[in-house]
Structures are given as C-alpha cells and as structure tokens.
Structure 1
Amino acid sequence: MTTNQTLARRVLRAMVGAQHRLTAQRDRGDVPGWVLITLMTAGIVTLLWSVAGPALRDMFTQAINGVSGP
C-alpha cells in the first residue's frame, strides 16, 4: 500500500467518524417536545370524541338501519 492510499484511508476514516459524531448529536431528539405533542393529540381526540361521539353513533346506527332495513 502506498503512502497516498494510507493517507486517503486515514482521511476517509476521520471524515466518517466526524460525520457519525455530528449525526449522533443531531439525532438525539427533543423528548419533552414529543411528549407534549402526544399529550395534546390525546387531549384533542378525547375532546372531539366527547363532542361528536353521540352524533357519530346515531349516524352509524341510521346508516346500518338504512342498509339492513327495518
């Protein structure tokens, strides 16, 4: 192996290592943000379900009765 090949391999390893370290730092994520989004989504679904639930149930019952007959 020549000196240029050895140098090129060392440079490539250093670049890959640096990229890995940068990616690892960036991909740590924002856990409190995700928790907040999840809780807000659950709250919105619960609110919509409590408001629209009876109307949806009645609409479903009417649709089933319309298809199956009296």
Structure 2
Amino acid sequence: MRLTVNPLRMLALLPGLMAALMLRIAIARDPRDGERGDVPGWVMITLMSAVLVAGLLALAQEQLAAMFQDAMGRITG
C-alpha cells in the first residue's frame, strides 16, 4: 500500500490552519472572560510540531515512503 499525498495541496492547507489557530488563540485570550487563561505552552508546541511535520511530509514524502518501504523490506526479509 502506497500513500499518495500532494505536497502542494498540503502546503495550500497551512494558511487556513494557521488562520484557524490564530482565531482560536484570540478567542481564548478574550479579556472579558476572566475564567479563561492564556493558551498553555504545550498547546502551542503541539500545534507548531504538527505544522512542521506537515511541512516535512509535503517536502519529502517520496523519500520518507522509500525509507519506510526499505525498512519494512529489511524486517520481513
């Protein structure tokens, strides 16, 4: 089974994801809502990591797939 992902399509999704993230942060930081705190650092790190993974996948999908297939071939014989 071979996964096919169009790198340009994934890169095209990043601006929308970033806009949604910024909107969510703005809602979470609403000063009128005293019970909501700042966005925790781990949330930002998780989202930034997801964006980095998506970017790497978009740029190096074929190389990563070839490495995976090679590794699986060595394990199964």
TM-score range, shorter chain: 0.3 to 0.5
TM-score scaled by structure 1?
0.37
TM-score scaled by structure 2?
0.34
Structure with greater contact order relative to length (CA < 8 Å, sep ≥ 6): 2
Give the structure with the larger helix fraction: 1
